[in-house]
A and B are shown apart, each in its own frame.
Chain A
């Protein structure tokens, strides 16, 4: 147990954590969010000491993202020039990034990562009913852009 084990766990979840963080705070801050979370954990103990490192990392990334999201409230989360987004997706991308943070997290985990509700509840540290509620509210908000 030690650095090698932590490195292996980090490597295992690195890509999906960065996708998650990018959806929550944008690409330019995603690396900072993940790095901050992982560093904070390994400075106290190794990742291998966590009972469920994946759930812990996802919960921590969501919590860490809340501060970044507040700071970037008026900054576009998609870093690319808007003209680069396929025109038929402009409204949808914007609508997704305008969702409240937890709704956006639920949408990402459900529609992109295809996680079941119970697993999303575990990763977001909320009850399954709350996940369903977030998804319901998100779909309602997205409907206009998806038409």
Chain B
């Protein structure tokens, strides 16, 4: 079981809440006294306010335009070839299922396994390992084990398998002058020897006039971090990786930029910026073209996302494809975690290899809607989801203060509802949207509970 990027960020934010409480600790010379000195309430509140401020900033990053120039900083170099430990038996919960055609998507209940073309085997990620099954998912054996969690897995149409690891830690980017820019690792199995070769993808390089360290763009977020979101394999040699980067520089609070890594041989990689009207979260090769699933905003943004689909033949021009979303019921919405295809929470892309492609996208409902007529009714809704209004605090922390900050007024319109959702994020699962296409250009949609 893996965590999506948004889940991992949420977990780290929660851990930040906990460790932010850590006392500084006694001086060595005071240890014997075992002083019972405790922080005052005022000190504690200040630290909590700082933590809360950071979290709000992290969730509601404000786009600021800036220019970057991308260069190939350094050639990709083969790294170590890790040795695989002896296979160990896996637990029952490793079992996964995978449909074989786009019509089987209803049965796509667990983490998707990828079929290896030309064989009856399929692979998936499990517990820091790539595991393989030859009996339809009933039993699994390790194909490759690594010391760290692998983030993305891809199987090419000609039966090769590769994985990506993003070594950059979100928590390392919390400081105002942090640089989290380690090279992403591409782990590829050698089809002949069965060994796994690790290659470092080039890291993005900023324009010389943009210095992310040491600066504080004013939002308390780190100077630079980059990561990967999606991978597609056209053949056993041609791979495409999509990722994101956030930069904080002098006078620039934050911006998310889409990155595209491509390799003509699985070993040498180039990196460039993507010119596209949105953010790609999932990528697939149908046999004729690339199909990308994504959103109008970066994955790190909370709240409601607008689903978008693009196709491309050359990875340079991305054409947006119309998608009929009318099948989504009232009050159900697409959320940021629809984006992850490699776990059991996000969208599951299915590309059986016959040119067809399908996706099952989880939807969520919210108690906020335009029928909430006045602030008293909203207060009841918030009480029902456990929000306690701080009537003893300053005006900014009252419900009226929060609504003023969000620029929400009654009667509520759809934009007001989206602002409420983005702030409180009270979601419940609300079924799935199932999209199907033959080739990726024309899509049909239906709702599934």
Contacts and interface: CB of A to CB of B under 8 A. Distances in A.
A69 interface: no
Contact of B55 (A10, A30, A86, A140): A86
Contacts of A89: 10, 13-14, 17, 55
A107 B18 contact: no
Contacts, number: 151
Contacts of A142: 3, 7, 11
Given A7-B29, A22-B21, A107 B15 contact: yes
A98 B18 CA distance: 12
Interface in A17-66: 17-19, 21-23, 26-28, 30-32, 34-35, 38-39, 42
Interface stretch (B44-52, B62-70, B130-138, B317-325): B44-52
B147 A92 contact: no
Contacts of B387: 87
Contacts of A26: 21
Nearest to B145: A132
A10 to B, nearest CB: 5
B171 A86 contact: no
Interface residues of B, number: 55
Contacts of B93: 140
A26 to B, nearest CB: 8
Contact of A86 (B1, B12, B56): B56
B97 interface: no
Contacts of A107: 11, 15
A39 B19 contact: no
B186 interface: no
Contacts of B26: 31, 35
A73 to B, nearest CB: 17
Interface string B419-441: 00000110101000000000000
Contacts of A19: 19, 22
A129 B88 contact: yes
Nearest to A9: B28
Interface in B131-158: 147-148
Interface stretch (B31-39, B246-254, B271-279, B353-361): B31-39
Nearest to B4: A146
Given A107-B15, A129-B88, A147 B345 contact: yes
B28 A7 contact: yes
Interface residues of A, number: 62
B2 to A, nearest CB: 7
A107 to B, nearest CB: 7
B136 to A, nearest CB: 23
Contacts of A146: 3, 7, 10-11
A39 B33 CA distance: 10
Nearest to A3: B28
Contacts of B24: 14-15, 18
Interface string A127-147: 011001101100110110011
Interface of B: 1-3, 7-8, 10-19, 21-26, 28-29, 31-32, 34, 38, 44-45, 48, 51-52, 55-56, 59, 88, 93, 127-128, 147-148, 169, 171-172, 302, 337, 345, 386-388, 390, 424-425, 427, 429
Given A80-B21, A86-B56, A89-B55, 10 more contacts: A18-B25, A27-B22, A30-B23, A35-B31, A86-B17, A88-B10, A88-B55, A140-B1, A143-B345, A146-B7
18 contacts: A7-B28, A22-B21, A27-B22, A30-B23, A31-B25, A42-B31, A80-B21, A80-B44, A84-B48, A86-B13, A92-B13, A96-B18, A112-B12, A112-B19, A135-B127, A146-B10, A146-B11, A147-B429
